């Protein structure tokens, strides 16, 4: 009945002595699961991440320094000594709100003057 089909060799069972001297990790070669980082990739990932993070902090610090330079002197004098980053941001918000309110008042005066000329 199976004369035309060649027989495959039977599978041999390995015993403990067959594994002596073999490198066990090479026996279990498989792709790492998604989302799981390998140890060697962690080290190569950390350095660029540190550099990227440092560049981000440097950009933030540069922007805060520029905001500090743009602040009017009378606002800078309201604080004692060194202007911390948070204080610079708070003073900038205070100044922008004051400028926005002033701009709104001037806009209303312009509209009122334009309406007065028409009447």
Q: Domain ranges in the chain?
A: 42-117
Q: Residue 94's CB: how many other CB atoms inside 10 A?
A: 13
Note whether 71 and 91 are within 8 A (CB): yes
Whole-angstrom distance between the N-terminal and C-terminal Cα of the chain?
113
CATH number of 42-117: 4.10.280.10
Q: Residue 38: pLDDT above 90?
A: no
Q: Residue 13: pLDDT above 90?
A: no
Mean pLDDT of the chain: 78
pLDDT band, residue 75 (cuts 50/70/90):
confident
pLDDT of residue 35: 59
Rounded to an integer, what distance in angstroms lies between the CA atom of residue 105 and that of residue 99?
10
Note whether 71 and 88 are within 8 A (CB): yes
Q: Residue 78: pLDDT above 60?
A: yes
């Amino acid at each position: 009945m199976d004369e035309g089909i060649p027989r495959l060799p039977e599978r041999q069972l390995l015993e403990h002595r067959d594994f002596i001297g073999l490198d066990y990790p090479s026996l279990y070669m498989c792709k790492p699961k998604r989302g799981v980082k390998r140890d060697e990739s962690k080290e190569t990932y950390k350095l660029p991440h540190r550099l990227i993070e440092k560049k981000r902090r440097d950009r933030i610090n540069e922007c805060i320094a520029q905001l500090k330079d743009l602040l009017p002197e009378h606002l800078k004098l309201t604080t004692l000594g060194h202007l911390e980053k948070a204080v610079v941001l708070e003073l900038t918000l205070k100044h922008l709100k004051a400028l926005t309110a002033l701009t709104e008042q001037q806009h209303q005066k312009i509209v009122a003057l334009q309406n007065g000329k028409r009447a």
